[in-house]
Amino acid sequence: MIMEQFIGFFENIPPTFRAGLLVGGIVIFWLLEGMIPLYGFKYKKVRHAGINLILTAFTLIIGLFFARLLLWGSDFTSSREFGLLYIVSLPVWAQAIVGVLLMDLIGAYFIHWTEHKVKWMWKFHLVHHSDTTVDVTTGLRHHPGETVFRMTFTIMAVMLIGAPMWIIMFYQSLSVLFAHLTHANIKMPAKVDHALSYIFVTPYMHKIHHHYTQPLTDTNYGNIFAIWDRIFGTFAKVDDIEKLTYGIDTHMDPKENDRLSNLLAIPFQEYRVPEDAKFGTEK
């Protein structure tokens, strides 16, 4: 009965619930950032949020265009029981766990790793890394081109897994929550963060990924589950998290990263790699 209610809810998820996760999450973590900040940033927080939220609006609009294709892919594969979920007969609760794990692997970890390895894709993802003051709104800071990449990989994941819509919506709800949590500028007990990072992506774990130089830039790709970084050897731990520097060493000018027009143009610009930079153009 509980699983039936669970499935029914996410099959017909109310728009108010999704909006509540997006907006409510930002509000809650915004308040927490004021009470228990990890870094005492000196920046125009409202302006910074405004730029990131405009990029979020682009993401939402692009998502609407992909929604029909996502629905078709889900209906096509799940109705025919085609995909990784149907190799072995699983109870519904196990389908939920396996489905979310695989969606996270293919639709998040793998595309994230790919964006760091393919130079032309990296130039779009660079917009996310260009943020030198990482806070809750940074999780929503993506170039429209990167949104297309991620939606494409999400659809590919759905087709390979055979994920029904309720699993997709459950996964996307968790993904929004973790985007807020892992980017929020909040302090938490280091031992708790590290213990949780054996399974889940945590705030401190993801902050390492936002350090401005390699090799840390190319670690901790996970979205929800930290197990993928541990399995594939991309996990990194830093003892003194407060010594990290956010941003990317090819674009450290605050003015450059604080103009929406320039952020949208970054993927189409040539840029010079600093001579002392560890991060290069070999991607």
pLDDT tens per residue across all 283 residues of the chain? 788 888 888 988 888 898 899 999 999 999 999 999 999 888 889 999 999 999 999 999 999 889 999 999 999 998 888 899 999 888 999 999 999 999 999 999 999 999 999 999 999 999 999 999 999 999 999 999 999 999 999 999 999 999 999 999 999 999 999 999 999 999 999 999 999 999 999 999 999 999 999 899 999 999 999 999 999 999 999 988 988 999 998 887 777 778 899 999 999 987 655 554 443 333 3
Alpha carbon distance 128, 280 (integer Å)? 17
* Amino acid at residue number 47: R
The helix/strand count (H/E) of the chain reads as 13, 0
Domain residue ranges of the chain, discontinuous segments joined by +: 28-267
pLDDT of residue 251: 81
pLDDT of residue 264: 93
**Cα-trace Rg, the chain:** 19
Q: What is the DSSP letter of 39?
A: S
Tokens linked to 159: 């087709």
Please report which helix (H) or strand (E) contains residue 126, including its range: helix 119-129
Alpha carbon distance 136, 49 (integer Å)? 9
Alpha carbon distance 175, 259 (integer Å)? 27
Alpha carbon distance 247, 253 (integer Å)? 9
CA distances in angstroms from 191 to 11, 103, 110, 184, listed in the order given? 37, 28, 28, 18
- C-alpha dihedral (86, 88, 93, 94), degrees to nearest 10: -110
